């Protein structure tokens, strides 16, 4: 890519325009010319020059008016601007600078002075851009460090909580004498529930590692809808017993579904877990599973929660997005569920997207039918 600075010359006097172009080209710049303000605006949008050198006294829009119009366009507003005019009054210079000009050169100009001013403006802009890049890098680095701290803190919490809830009940079982076997079993079940949460956390990190290494399982196996989808979903619903949610299941699996079992189950669990998590008290969650013609499936999850604004429908698939919301996030978790779910379906050539819904959030996952390149087992 040619990094030679490009300069747009705008002047309605042909002789001056051509002379300027020849002078500037001889000093190694790329040059484009325009006859008036209208053509200048169009060419500025087309080539996005590094600098604009413009006459002031032209048919409307004149130089001042054109600069004001450019300042309203986000693409053109930051392009440096030098006015070149026979008007040398202080008031005119003040007007030019106030309207955003970077310099003001009067006619007749001295070629060496004009070139020096062009070089000075370009150097100043380059320094400002370099400072801007450095500041953006510093801000990005600060944001990354903050996110890392939040991830580690959140991971510590997510890991420590189930560990504590495993150790304490087991210590009670070992060190205490219970009046009834049922009371002892209750503590054991408490520990097992936290074991399930801890195992879920570890599984997610293993899957994230596989995703990063491009090593997700692609072997398609027979999916037993009851055992590989509905049973794990109902078990996950038990975590949200206090919300008294209603789970509606609609299954149409007249033909077989073939997918990597563990990964497919995990992806669906994350979709329904999000629906359970964000559903209101006494809310309803609808899970629809429809098999395809040859091993494919469409899985839809609908809840009655707050929904996801359209501008965030891709953002929420970013890894750790939930953690990145800092103190504003309302729910715990690592924020990797949708990341994992989408990766699993895309790994098989499918899709996962958030759809429009009159209420709540509606997510649809599409698993394609078996393809010639797919490995099928069982």
- Tell me: do 185 and 285 sit in the same domain: no
Q: Evaluate whether residue 115 is within a structural domain.
A: no
CB 270, CB 322: distance < 8 Å: no
> Residue 89 is part of a domain; what is its CATH number?
3.40.50.2300
What's the structural domain count of the chain?
Answer: 3
In this predicted structure, what is the pLDDT of residue 144? 66
- Tell me: do 206 and 74 sit in the same domain: no
In this predicted structure, what is the pLDDT of residue 148? 64
In this predicted structure, what is the pLDDT of residue 93? 56
- Tell me: do 16 and 58 sit in the same domain: yes
- What global pTM score does this model have? 0.58
Q: Evaluate whether residue 1 is within a structural domain.
A: no
- Tell me: do 224 and 297 sit in the same domain: yes
CA 1/CA 29 separation, integer angstroms: 15
- For the chain (378 residues), the mean pLDDT of every run of 10, in chain order, is 83 88 91 91 92 86 86 87 69 56 75 87 85 81 69 66 84 84 87 84 86 91 94 94 95 91 95 94 96 94 92 86 49 73 95 94 96 85
Final residue of a structural domain among 92, 109, 126: 109
Q: Evaluate whether residue 294 is within a structural domain.
A: yes
> Residue 182 is part of a domain; what is its CATH number?
1.10.287.130
In this predicted structure, what is the pLDDT of residue 264? 96
Domain that holds residue 32: 6-109
- Tell me: do 292 and 372 sit in the same domain: yes
CA 251/CA 374 separation, integer angstroms: 25
CB 93, CB 56: distance < 8 Å: no
């Amino acid at each position: 890519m040619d990094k030679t600075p490009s300069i747009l010359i705008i002047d309605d006097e042909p002789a001056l325009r051509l002379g300027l172009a020849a002078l500037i080209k001889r000093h190694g710049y790329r040059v484009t010319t325009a006859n008036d303000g209208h053509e200048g605006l169009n060419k500025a949008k087309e080539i996005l020059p590094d600098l604009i050198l413009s006459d002031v006294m032209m048919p409307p829009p004149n130089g001042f008016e054109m600069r004001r119009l450019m300042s309203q366009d986000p693409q053109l507003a930051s392009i440096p601007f030098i006015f070149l005019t026979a008007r040398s009054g202080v008031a005119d210079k003040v007007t030019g600078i106030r309207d955003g000009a970077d310099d003001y050169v009067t006619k007749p100009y001295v070629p060496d002075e004009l070139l020096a001013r062009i070089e000075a403006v370009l150097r100043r802009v380059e320094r400002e851009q370099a400072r801007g890049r450095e500041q953006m890098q510093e801000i990005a680095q600060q944001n990354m460090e903050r996110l890392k701290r939040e991830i580690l803190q959140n991971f510590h919490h997510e890991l420590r909580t189930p560990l504590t809830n495993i150790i304490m009940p087991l210590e009670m079982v070992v060190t205490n004498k219970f009046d009834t076997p049922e009371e002892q079993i209750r503590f054991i079940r408490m520990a097992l529930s936290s074991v399930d949460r801890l195992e879920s956390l570890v599984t997610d990190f293993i899957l994230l590692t596989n995703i990063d290494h491009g090593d997700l399982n692609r072997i398609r196996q027979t999916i037993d809808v009851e055992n590989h989808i509905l049973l794990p979903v109902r078990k996950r619903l038990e975590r949200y017993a206090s919300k008294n949610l209603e789970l509606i299941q609609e299954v149409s699996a007249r033909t077989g579904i073939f997918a990597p079992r563990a990964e497919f189950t995990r992806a669906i669990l994350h979709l329904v877990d999000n629906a359970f998590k964000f559903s209101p008290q006494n809310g309803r969650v609808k899970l629809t599973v429809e098999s395809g013609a040859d091993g494919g499936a469409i899985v839809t999850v609908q809840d009655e929660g707050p929904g996801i604004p359209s501008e965030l429908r891709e953002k929420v698939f970013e890894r750790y997005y939930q953690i990145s919301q800092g103190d504003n996030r309302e729910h715990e978790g690592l924020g990797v569920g949708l990341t994992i779910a989408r990766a699993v379906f895309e790994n098989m050539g499918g899709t996962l997207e958030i759809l429009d819904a009159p209420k709540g959030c509606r997510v649809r996952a599409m698993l394609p039918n078996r393809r010639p390149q797919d490995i099928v087992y069982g």
